[in-house]
Copies of this chain bind each other. A is one copy, B any other.
Amino acid sequence: MIRVTVWNEFLHEKTDEKVKSIYPNGIHKAIAEFLGKEEDMEVKTITLDDENCGITDELLENTDVMIWWGHMRHWEVPDEIAMKVKEAVLRGMGMIFLHSAHHSKPFKLLMGTTCNLGWRESDDKERLWVIDHNHPIMEGITDRFFELEGEETYMEPFGIPDPDKLLLVGWYNGGEVFRSGCIWHRENGKVFYFQPGHETYPTFYNENVQKIIKNAVRWAKPVYRIPELICPWMPRIEE
């Protein structure tokens, strides 16, 4: 069983009528619903308004893959909580950052950069082109591209380290491109950034988006976890 925890800021779904109508129980519940149908996944949800943002040492120990959605309240996540999440990744936990989580504290800490980008909300159509059909995260996406009728527009340059592998590039009818699916390894943890998922569009009901998130959970699950991060003195091996 892959133990998945979905973290959501859970703001817009409570305050914005349009968003509420799309995700009445919150984005986290929408994600948990489709993941929960997978036989090899066990899904939990937490939100920013939970005590400690819902994040405890115990939770992190018992999470194989965490999914993160945030937008306007990134800075309400305390630094020490963000650092805990980062360290859980370095010790082996898998991590998926969705859409505006490009500016979440844990993502920025793991990248070492600003993760800035250009952006605009103008109901652009996005067409996501597959760069590598053979990566496990792309399993089942066999066409050259898939489309989303509306998405927030994100554009290059995207202030990230070069991804270990670029999986998707987004085309927008407003005239932009964006590296929409990227992976990195960070010590013992795997990280996937996936750009779709603005709160005003039903993106998380899209079949291809769901397929990619499911695949990413399986790809990111730990191969190896270490109990603590150490820099040890080591004895001589050879005499």
Contacts and interface: CB of A to CB of B under 8 A. Distances in A.
Interface stretch (A52-60, A62-70, A123-131): A123-131
Contact of A129 (B120, B155, B166, B185): B155
A181 interface: no
A136 interface: yes
Given A161-B185, A162-B185, A114 B133 contact: no
Contact of A233 (B119, B134, B144): B119
A176 interface: yes
Contact of A113 (B90, B136, B175): B90
Interface stretch (A5-13, A26-34, A103-111, A196-204): A103-111
A142 interface: yes
Contacts of A171: 171, 175-177
Interface in A5-26: none
A124 to B, nearest CB: 8
Contacts of A155: 129, 144, 234
A144 B118 contact: yes
A144 B156 contact: yes
A132 B157 contact: yes
A135 B223 CA distance: 7
A36 interface: no
Contacts of A235: 120
Given A134-B188, A153-B234, A165-B185, 7 more contacts: A120-B233, A122-B236, A133-B223, A159-B229, A161-B184, A161-B185, A171-B171
